Amino acid sequence: MADPSAGPEDDFPHGAGNPARSALRHAGYTRLAQLTEVTAAEVLALHGVGPKAIRVLREALAAEGRSFAGE
C-alpha cells in the first residue's frame, strides 16, 4: 500500500483522466512543468492520452503561465 505521507504520484489535473495520467507517469513524467519540454503531439502519441487530456493539460499549463514546447 502506498504511503500517504509520500505525497501524490504526480501533479497532473484529475480531469485529464486516469489512463492519460498513467501513460504520462509510465513515460517518465510526474510533474506538469515537465510537459513544457515536449510538444502536445508527442504527448498525444502516448497510448492512453487523447484530445480531452491534451486540452485539460494545456489549460493547466496555461493557468501557470506555461505551455507545451513550441506553443
Q: What is the pLDDT of residues 13-51, one digit of tens each?
A: 999 999 999 999 999 999 999 999 999 999 999 999 999
State the pLDDT at residue 54: 98
Asked whether the predicted pLDDT for residue 56 surpasses 80, the reply is yes
Q: Please, what sign has the CA dihedral across residues 16, 18, 20, 22?
A: positive
Is the CB of residue 57 less than 8 Å from the CB of residue 35? yes
Which residue, 25, 59, 54, is CA-closest to 41? 54
State the pLDDT at residue 65: 98
Q: What is the pTM of this model?
A: 0.87
